[in-house]
Amino acid sequence: MIHRGSDKDLVLKPDVCVVGSGPGGAMVASRLARKGASVVVLEEGGYHLKDEFDMQEATAYPRLYQDRGQRATADLSISVLQGRAVGGGTVVNWTTSYRTPDDVLTYWRDHFGLGLGPETLKPHFEDVEQRLGIRKVDLEDTNPNNRAIYDGCRKLGWQVDTIRRNVRGCLRTGYCGMGCPVDAKQSATLTYLPDAVAAGAEVYSDCRVDRIEWSGRRATGAIGYFGSGRTARVEPRVVVVSGGAINSPALLLRSGIAGNVGKYTWLHPVVAMGAFYDEAIEGFYGAPQSVASHHFAHRTEGAGFFIEAAPVHPMLASIAMPGFGAPLRARMDLLPNVCATISLMIDGFDASERGGTVTLRPDGGPRLDYPFTDRIYECFRAGMKAMARLHLANGAREVVSFHASPVHIRREDDLALLESAPLGPNLFAAFTAHQMGGCRMGADPAVSVVDPQLRHHDFENLFVVDGSAFPTSLGVNPMESIYALASWASQQILA
């Protein structure tokens, strides 16, 4: 069953302890429990159901996100949106579902000695898509916020298409990021975790795992603390760390497991543009993401990027929009007429890139550093120009950047203004909703943390199964890739 914390100290001795209940942890728990293993899942977030999802940002962000929605890089230059609940990020993501691109898997094979080819992962993707109801969006089901991207790209001759979403009976309310109030989103909370529980797994919410204990080459226990102050001591045969690309490295570091832990962290760093239209857009209604363009994913002049929509709910929009006081209020008055569009950098595919680093703060929490570089700045500017161009082509009256001193673009000639607009930490708005890496998988222990079967190089019974294992970013939203990787990895753990 799923326990809402505990009012007593626990000592548990299952076959497997899974730390984290997002797509990686939920899948592993389901697969192993259904094969007869006794499984305990420890999740630091709460257990929340649809009746608690009131579609209010003031409720959802403190309840369902890491650090109450205020997680950021150490210098505060990148806002980090990351789920914190039973079901992890699947509770709050925008349902965008992609398989890992074949060229990414080829890169991993050639550079990291991984055997995860498309044919290897195909049955796992197919199983996930069936279980989660993943299907392609019909164009007529897109909202104006997404349709503007589609129409603008088509007018410019750029690649664009509708995406696939993991929903059943979606009412397109627009509140995916705050928890689905009608259980249309097929989150791990509604799918793989109940599958695991039905097979005998025990899930404990509100339990933050402080450390993994180990001796020699074996992990011997996981020590967690409930919000009630009670302790959970789990002594399993196998430990699976699935806390996500920031929390998993932090847990290993708190446990005295270092090496390459926390290095090569990738973020798909995001810049945004706001396009103002004369007609109503109302980007706070409808599926948050239903269209994407990967036209610029394989640029020769710099890092690739892809373009998607973002919802424009008041709190998220006001954080992203530049300025304070009267100027910000004036922009917020125009919210119904704003298209919010994001450009996501595909980081990790150039020899010069080192990505970010997760270390520990004095209190043991994770500290994330992600230094900006000239390569990143070039990609940001290219993304801003592309977003502005597609909206101008689609008839927007003005496109505004999210610099501290915004750039206003009303015609093609104004794009040059983006070249001189300053880029530096906290001089413009930057975000990440896709955290990857930090426990990189690879055949060479000198540059990775886990081996090609996701077993830690130094421990016989410690696995890391989540997005932190990705050697690079993906160039697509990562949820389905994490599910499929975890499904495949479950076979390796069983073996």
Considering the candidates 48, 124, 391, 434, report the single residue annotated as catalytic.
434
CA distances in angstroms from 258 to 252, 301, 358, 438, listed in the order given? 7, 36, 11, 11
Token output for 361:
């703060």
Contact 234, 222 (CB under 8 A): yes
Which residue's entry shows tokens 């760093």? 269
CA distance 343 to 302: 14
Query: Order of strands, edge to edge, in the sheet holding 462-464?
Result: 2-3, 202-204, 39-42, 16-19, 238-241, 462-464
CA distance 174 to 313: 9
3-state helix, strand, coil in the chain (%, to 5): 30, 25, 45
Exposed / middle / buried, residue 127 (Cβ in 10 Å: 0-12, 13-18, 19+): middle
Contact 61, 412 (CB under 8 A): no
DSSP code of residue 138: P
Contact 115, 109 (CB under 8 A): yes
DSSP code of residue 260: T
DSSP 23-42: HHHHHHHHHHHHTT--EEEE
DSSP, collapsed to helix, strand or coil, labels residue 72 as: strand
Residue 463's nearest CA partner among 110, 265, 212, 120 is 212
Pick left, alpha or beta for residue 274 (phi over 0 → left; psi -120 to 50 → alpha; otherwise beta).
beta
| Whether residue 391 lies in the annotated active site | no
Give 45's Cβ-side CA count (13 Å radius): 31
Angle subtended by helix axes 479-494 and 118-132, to nearest 10: 110
DSSP code of residue 189: T
Contact 93, 433 (CB under 8 A): yes
Active site residues: 434
